[in-house]
Amino acid sequence: MDVTPRLHSPSTGVVITGGASGLGRATAEALAAVGRPVSLWDLDAEKTARVADEIARRYEVPTQGLAVDVRDPKALERGVASARQAMPNIGGLVHAAGVVDTDSLDGLTAEGWDDGIRVHLRPVALLAKALLPDLAAQPGSAIVAFASINATLGNAANPIYSAAKGGALSLVRSLADRLARDGIRINAISPGQIRTPMLAPSVEHLGEAAYTRRILLERLGEPEEIGRVVRFLLSDEASYITAAEIVVDGGNISSQRM
Ligand SMILES: NC(=O)c1ccc[n+]([C@@H]2O[C@H](COP(=O)([O-])OP(=O)(O)OC[C@H]3O[C@@H](n4cnc5c(N)ncnc54)[C@H](O)[C@@H]3O)[C@@H](O)[C@H]2O)c1
């Protein structure tokens, strides 16, 4: 049996949406640490370029930081064209861009609904299609879409987010069937409560114990603990994993603690 560690294989470039913050950034760092080039896409041009520069200096890999609003199909097309120029090849995609609604059903609007689906769900399909020739050309190519434990939990606070994340799980399974024909794997990762800017306002408002008392490991997750799992899913170590949801929540949705 071949037991060679293959976390650094393939060594192809990876596009990461939401790459300037939190879990997207942690994913970029994990990949760069094993030598994979990364193209970071996020809303703020200056911040994204700065994060890309920091990663390039720390890990000595080609990086790119681009302003791409993933809600805009034209911006996605421009991003793909630019990433093709900046990286030797593209063999991975991570969709980590995200926002969370907190107004429950009472604050729900048609615009907010469309916005949530445009951010979380549509880019996975549009980018999988646009990058298909690139990914198919590179052995071991893979995609990771960020879902959430909220795809499974009933949380009154964020119906749009929950629906989009649930949709991401179904979309991943559908795309996995098509992409497998080109040798491409696709999986969803569902983090629990991870210490990032997205979670910070809720932790501040409710207190950390409100979360940690029901988590079996009794703590919030750190972004690196998610980045490492995404890196694994994009590597040949995960060569037989596709159409799966990988839950990384410290024992949260399985907990009955009060
Ligand atoms: N932190 C958690 O506890 C947690 C739990 C489950 C799932 N997630 C998911 O993980 C992903 C990353 O979240 P995070 O915690 O790192 O949050 P974060 O706020 O730190 O990072 C999200 C990034 O996405 C970017 N973004 C938002 N809208 C965008 C758009 N239209 N175009 C391009 N970029 C956009 C933001 O600018 C930000 O840099 C999200 O999909 C989120 O839903 C997070």
Structural domains for the chain: 13-248 (3.40.50.720)
**How does pLDDT run across 141-170, given as a tens digit for each residue?**
999 999 999 999 999 999 999 999 999 999
Calculate how far, in angstroms, residue 187's C-alpha sits from the geometric centre of ligand 1.
17
User: By alpha-carbon position, which residue is closest to atom 39 of ligand 1?
Assistant: 21
**pLDDT tens, residue order, the chain (258 aa):** 666 768 999 999 999 999 999 999 999 999 999 999 999 999 999 999 999 999 999 999 999 999 999 999 999 999 999 999 999 999 999 999 999 999 999 999 999 999 999 999 999 999 999 999 999 999 999 999 999 999 999 999 999 999 999 999 999 999 999 999 999 999 999 999 999 999 999 999 999 999 999 999 999 999 999 999 999 999 999 999 999 999 999 999 999 998
Percent of the chain whose predicted confidence (pLDDT) is above 90? 97
Q: Is 59 a catalytic residue?
A: no
Query: 13 and 87 in contact (C-beta within 8 Å)?
Result: yes
| Nearest protein Cα to ligand 1, atom 1 | 194
Q: Is the CB of 197 under 6 A from ligand 1?
A: yes
| Ligand 1 centroid – CA 2 distance (Å) | 37
Q: Is the CB of 119 under 6 A from ligand 1?
A: yes
Residue closest by Cα to atom 44 of ligand 1: 191
Q: Is 8 helix (H, G, I), strand (E, B) or coil?
A: coil
Please state at what angle helix 22-33 crosses helix 223-233, rounded to 10 degrees: 60
In this prediction, residue 4 carries a pLDDT of: 73
**CB of 194 sitting under 6 A from ligand 1:** yes
Can you point out the beta strands (E) in the chain?
13-17, 38-42, 63-67, 90-95, 142-146, 185-191, 245-248
